[in-house]
């Protein structure tokens, strides 16, 4: 029996596995896919994340990989462009958001973890069952590999398998839906050297929709909003309305708009906003989107998952280093450490969802540009926004176990 099995090789699961293995524990990470290369995953590494990498001694090697440094968050409204967030004002060795393909970040962490003697990575392991003993304690997981049943027993199971978490379903833990009114249609267009130096996330607002633009080294990721459940109608209308919106609001894309020729280039990102009332049961802890699905609004899902991983390591390393079972006390402590931050982020996202829905129904601009310009012109507002976006509410730091 190993110390911990972590299900899900996204940012939260990968960092949790790395930290536990670095603490000298025996950890196996199970990833359902054959690799980490999934399209349209978040690519934002915030200042808090980069400072954590620095604390771990990994920042220099990580930032040697190709990435795009974004220093601002901007909104393009009918009343003009407004800079809402200035990361360059931060007192940090990393006063920017590093936009790096998530597969590159995950491959990097997996490579660092592979040098630790207690770490094992198994890909293609789609967990289908929890091993639960007579007293209802989770003791491990089961999956099939090449048609053959496999199982792995551990003192603790950590579920980090994302917004469509299988372990969340298997856990039987109650979920609270917080409401989402929007879905996103995602696609990519090439980036050119003379393109505008866009920011962390640039939002281009029309009357009934907006486009989110994420910068990358070689391309742009774009997501255009549609009403919740509106994918079928959007698909029936084809890409012409999307191209029309881009031509009106992002004309600098020029002839590249014509490269979007069909819905086979478009991916639906169903926006969810919900969380578990309790993130744990005996022998099992859920973190990241498995415990609390974060909307793409604000681009902070990766940040929340990584902070969950640090909080989990802080609480779990001491009992896992000891002998015997891990009781629910440390698991409950992880939720207690992170719940206020998650509630604040999700409450803000729920408010944005409600306002966006109301604006669409009334045919009004989704963002009051003139008012936003006045607010962000006040001294310190852009810096406070950078602190809020770059670190999140109540950010954790590595505990005494690390020293």
Instruction: Work out whether strand 72-77 and strand 201-205 pair parallel, antiparallel, or are unpaired.
Output: parallel
Residues 168 and 118 grouped into a single domain: yes
**Percent of the chain whose pLDDT exceeds 70:** 93
Q: Between 337 and 72, whose confidence is greater?
A: 337
Q: What are the phi and psi torsion angles at 138 (to 5°)?
A: -75, 130
Whether residue 398 is contained in a domain is answered as no
What is the pLDDT at residue 363? 64
What is the pLDDT at residue 17? 98
What is the pLDDT at residue 354? 73
What is the pLDDT at residue 33? 82
Residue 174 per-residue DSSP state: -
Whether residue 71 is contained in a domain is answered as yes
What is the pLDDT at residue 206? 83
Whether residue 246 is contained in a domain is answered as yes
Residues 292 and 352 grouped into a single domain: yes
Residues 313 and 193 grouped into a single domain: no
Residues 91 and 132 grouped into a single domain: yes
State the pTM of this model: 0.91
What are the beta bridge partners of residue 83?
A: 74
**Percent of the chain whose pLDDT exceeds 90:** 60
Residue 187 CA to residue 263 CA, distance in Å, equals 9
Close Cβ partners of 166 (under 8 Å, ≥ 6 residues apart): 7, 126, 127, 128
What is the pLDDT at residue 39? 57
Residues 111 and 128 grouped into a single domain: yes
- The last residue of one of the domains, among 215, 242, 269, is 269
Number of structural domains the chain divides into: 2
Whether residue 400 is contained in a domain is answered as no
Lowest mean pLDDT among 127-141, 211-225, 304-318: 211-225
Residues 386 and 253 grouped into a single domain: no
Q: What is the CATH number of the domain that holds 151?
A: 3.50.50.60
- Show the 3-state SS of 360-403: HHHCCCCCCHHHHHHHHCCCCHHHHHHHHHHHCCCCCCCCCCCC
Q: What is the CATH number of the domain that holds 198?
A: 3.30.9.10
Whether residue 57 is contained in a domain is answered as yes
Of the ranges 73-87, 244-258, 352-366, which is most confident? Answer: 244-258
What is the pLDDT at residue 368? 64
Residue 302 CA to residue 280 CA, distance in Å, equals 21
Helix 47-55 / helix 301-321 crossing angle, nearest 10 deg: 30
What are the beta bridge partners of residue 154?
A: 2
* pLDDT at position 377 over 80: no
Whether residue 131 is contained in a domain is answered as yes
Residues 118 and 188 grouped into a single domain: no
Residue 158 CA to residue 179 CA, distance in Å, equals 26
Helix 102-114 / helix 11-22 crossing angle, nearest 10 deg: 20
Residues 112 and 79 grouped into a single domain: yes
CA distances from 110 to 104, 122, 143, 213 (A): 10, 11, 21, 28
**Nearest-5° Cα angle at 50, 336 to 75:** 90
Q: Rounded mean pLDDT of 113-131?
A: 95
Q: Rounded mean pLDDT of 203-226?
A: 84
Q: How confident is the model at residue 47 (pLDDT cuts 50, 70, 90)?
A: very high
Q: How confident is the model at residue 229 (pLDDT cuts 50, 70, 90)?
A: confident
Residues 282 and 253 grouped into a single domain: no
Whether residue 401 is contained in a domain is answered as no
Q: Rounded mean pLDDT of 111-116?
A: 96
Lowest mean pLDDT among 104-108, 200-204, 220-224, 325-329: 200-204
What is the pLDDT at residue 337? 97
Whether residue 403 is contained in a domain is answered as no
* pLDDT at position 19 over 90: yes
Q: How confident is the model at residue 328 (pLDDT cuts 50, 70, 90)?
A: very high
Residue 63 CA to residue 167 CA, distance in Å, equals 33
Residues 350 and 238 grouped into a single domain: no
Candidates 156, 155, 161, 138; CA nearest to 14 is 161
* pLDDT at position 80 over 90: no
What is the pLDDT at residue 105? 94
Task: State the average pLDDT for the chain.
Answer: 89
Residues 286 and 250 grouped into a single domain: no
Structural domain harbouring 201: 182-227+229-269
What is the pLDDT at residue 401? 92
24: alpha, beta or left? (left if phi > 0; alpha if psi -120 to 50): left
What is the pLDDT at residue 324? 81
Residue 234 CA to residue 358 CA, distance in Å, equals 20
What is the pLDDT at residue 359? 66
Instruction: Work out whether strand 284-286 and strand 280-281 pair parallel, antiparallel, or are unpaired.
Output: antiparallel
- The last residue of one of the domains, among 210, 245, 269, is 269
Residues 351 and 250 grouped into a single domain: no
């Amino acid at each position: 029996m190993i110390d911990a099995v972590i299900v899900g090789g996204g940012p939260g699961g990968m960092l949790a596995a790395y930290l536990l293995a670095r603490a000298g524990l025996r950890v196996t990470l199970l990833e359902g896919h054959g690799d980490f290369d999934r399209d349209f995953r978040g690519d934002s590494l915030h200042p808090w994340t980069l400072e954590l990498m620095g604390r771990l001694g990994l920042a220099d090697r990580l930032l040697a990989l190709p990435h795009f440094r974004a220093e601002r968050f901007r909104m393009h409204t009918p009343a003009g462009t407004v800079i809402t967030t200035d990361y360059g004002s931060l007192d940090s060795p990393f006063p920017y958001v590093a936009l790096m393909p998530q597969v590159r970040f995950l491959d990097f962490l997996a490579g660092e973890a592979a040098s630790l003697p207690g770490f094992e990575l198994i890909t293609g392991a789609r967990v289908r069952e929890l091993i639960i003993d007579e007293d209802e304690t989770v003791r491990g997981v089961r999956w099939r590999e090449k048609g053959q049943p496999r199982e792995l027993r551990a003192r603790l199971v950590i579920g980090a398998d994302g917004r469509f978490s299988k372990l969340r379903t298997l856990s039987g833990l109650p979920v609270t839906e917080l409401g989402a009114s929007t879905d996103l249609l995602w696609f990519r267009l090439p980036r050119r050297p003379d393109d505008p130096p866009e920011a962390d996330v640039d939002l281009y607002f029309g009357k009934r929709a907006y486009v989110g633009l994420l910068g990358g080294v070689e391309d742009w990721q774009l997501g255009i909003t549609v009403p919740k459940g509106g994918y079928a109608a959007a698909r029936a209308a084809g890409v012409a309305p999307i191209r029309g919106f881009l031509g009106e609001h992002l004309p600098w894309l020029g002839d590249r708009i014509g490269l979007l020729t069909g819905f086979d280039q478009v991916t639906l990102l169903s926006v969810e906003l919900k969380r578990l009332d309790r993130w744990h049961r005996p022998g099992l802890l859920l973190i990241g989107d498995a415990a609390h699905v974060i909307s793409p609004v604000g681009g902070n899902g990766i940040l929340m998952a990584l902070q969950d991983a640090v909080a989990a390591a802080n609480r779990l390393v001491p009992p896992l280093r000891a002998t015997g079972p891990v009781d629910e006390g440390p698991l409950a402590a992880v939720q207690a450490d992170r719940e206020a931050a998650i509630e604040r982020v999700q409450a803000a996202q729920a408010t944005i969802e409600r306002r966006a829905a109301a604006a669409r129904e009334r045919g009004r601009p989704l963002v009051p540009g003139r008012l936003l310009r006045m607010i962000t012109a006040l001294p310190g507002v852009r810096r406070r926004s950078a602190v809020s976006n770059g670190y999140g509410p109540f950010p954790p730091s590595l505990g005494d176990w690390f020293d």
